[in-house]
Structure 1
Amino acid sequence: MSCTIGEASKASGVSEKMIRHYEAIGLLRPLREANGYRRYGEADIAVLRFIRHARDLAFPLEEVRRLLTLWQDRGRASAEVRAIALAHVAALEEKAQSLQRMAESLRHLAAHCHGDARPDCPILDGLEGKTSC
């Protein structure tokens, strides 16, 4: 079975633009016909689904590349995959803590804003650096 980029997009849930991008950065290598058109087989669709799921979990592209290489290597040890996943969990948790601190800072600024017709605004002052959070 071989399909067009549009069909591959529908089958994988990855936009045509992203499929072209993944090809440009070497994550995907579809067959090219003599006329230059790309043709995608079942293996290409599987790769696209893998990439989409990894990106849905917020893996950066370089980590997706590493995971894709490991996924395609049936002789790989799962320990490396686990290490990548756990490192990503740690990065996500750090990002979540950072986002929580930002939300707390903004909540603090908003609590000190009267939200009325007066021009003074602790939120804007805080963004300017006039107040500390």
Structure 2
Amino acid sequence: MNTSPEGSAAAPKRERAPYDRETVLAIAVALFNERGYEATSMGILAEKLGISKTAIYHHVDSKEQLLELALDIALGSLESVLTRIENFHGGPQEKLEYAIRRSIQVICHKLQFVTLLLRVRGNTDIELSV
């Protein structure tokens, strides 16, 4: 039994789930979509993760970096469809069908990221660069 120097039982240590960069990013993107980028602070993200703000900085440098990573995922995924079309053998109709089908697949698989991409308003340097 754990006891403190005063002899009372010490509270058990709270286990926290380990987070990796991808998990922190996914939760940040969900919060950005729910609350808005501007209204989501690192404190709110830390509370949602159940960790300290300092712990977040082990994964990313800033809130702006989280936004940049998220937008890179959305844009990179959509741009990859265009890159693949260049190597797709078929006529114009088949290429168009392929582009639409693949774009829908990307949107479905990266919905949170694409949603954020569509919601940015150009209020930060990162948003303006998109």
In the superposition, the TM-score normalised over structure 1's length comes to 0.27
Q: Name which structure has the greater RCO, CA cutoff 8 Å, separation 6+.
A: 2
In the superposition, the TM-score normalised over structure 2's length comes to 0.28
